[in-house]
């Protein structure tokens, strides 16, 4: 059930993912869809949580002094919205996110952000493993193409869909932005 005990978690919507080193990305509307959800959560006064990836390495796009560390405008936190800074793929590792949710009696998470096979997937799995009723918004996340251990390339849409398939019904209920907003209407 999605209600006032539901937190919207926005993962790593950072300028680093605009860098050409990542290659082709699917779902260019992910940030716009995140913005739609963010507007609804704010209007309802429900919990919004931002997650920001960081690195200790000055040459990393995610190093705090580098522009890539900055959160994109579509996901900019308001002053009163918490930002959890992480170094691992999961927003639960190295942060007090679990305690924060439990302290506020949050029972459900709605997960969005970048990228589907990495931090979004890992956070989704941990959310479910910790017992939260977990939703993942399929068109409010995106992936980049990847190569496997033998050098075979998989395009971004394939990576995205397979990542969702590994989460579907075992770790999360997968919805589109429209499906989720229709549930809230």
Domains within the chain, CATH numbers bracketed: 6-184 (3.40.50.850)
pLDDT at 1: 82
The pLDDT value recorded for residue 155 is 98
Spell out where the chain has E strands: 6-11, 48-53, 83-86, 108-114, 133-142, 146-147, 153-154, 173-175
CA atoms of 28 and 42, how far apart (whole Å): 23
User: Could you tell me which residues come within 8 angstroms of residue 58 by beta carbon, excluding any fewer than 6 positions away?
Assistant: 65, 66
What six digits make up the tokens of 132?
A: 């939260």
pTM exceeds 0.95, yes or no:
yes
Q: According to the model, what pLDDT value does residue 185 have?
A: 87
Query: For the chain, which ranges sit under pLDDT 70?
Result: none
**Of all helices (H) and strands (E), which one includes residue 181?**
helix 177-184
In angstroms, rounded to a whole number, what is the distance separating the alpha carbons of residues 17 and 41? 24
pLDDT at 92: 98
> Residue 82: how many CB atoms within 10 A of its CB?
15
Which H/E stretch holds residue 183? Answer: helix 177-184
């Amino acid at each position: 059930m999605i209600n006032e005990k539901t937190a919207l978690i926005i993962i790593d919507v950072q300028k680093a993912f605009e860098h050409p080193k990542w290659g082709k990305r699917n779902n260019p509307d992910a940030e716009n869809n995140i913005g739609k959800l963010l507007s609804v959560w704010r209007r309802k006064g429900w919990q919004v949580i931002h997650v920001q990836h960081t690195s200790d390495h000055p040459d990393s796009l995610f190093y705090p002094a580098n522009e890539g560390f900055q959160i994109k405008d579509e996901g900019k936190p308001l002053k009163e919205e918490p930002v959890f800074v992480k170094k691992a793929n999961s927003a639960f590792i190295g942060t007090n996110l679990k305690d924060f949710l439990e302290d506020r009696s949050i029972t459900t998470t709605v997960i969005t952000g970048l990228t589907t096979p990495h931090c979004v997937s890992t956070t989704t799995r941990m959310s479910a493993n910790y017992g939260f009723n977990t939703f993942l918004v399929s068109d409010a996340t995106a992936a980049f193409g990847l190569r496997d251990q033998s050098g075979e390339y998989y395009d971004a849409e394939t990576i995205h869909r397979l990542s969702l398939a590994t989460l579907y019904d075992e770790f999360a209920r997968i919805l589109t932005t429209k499906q989720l907003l229709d549930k809230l209407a």
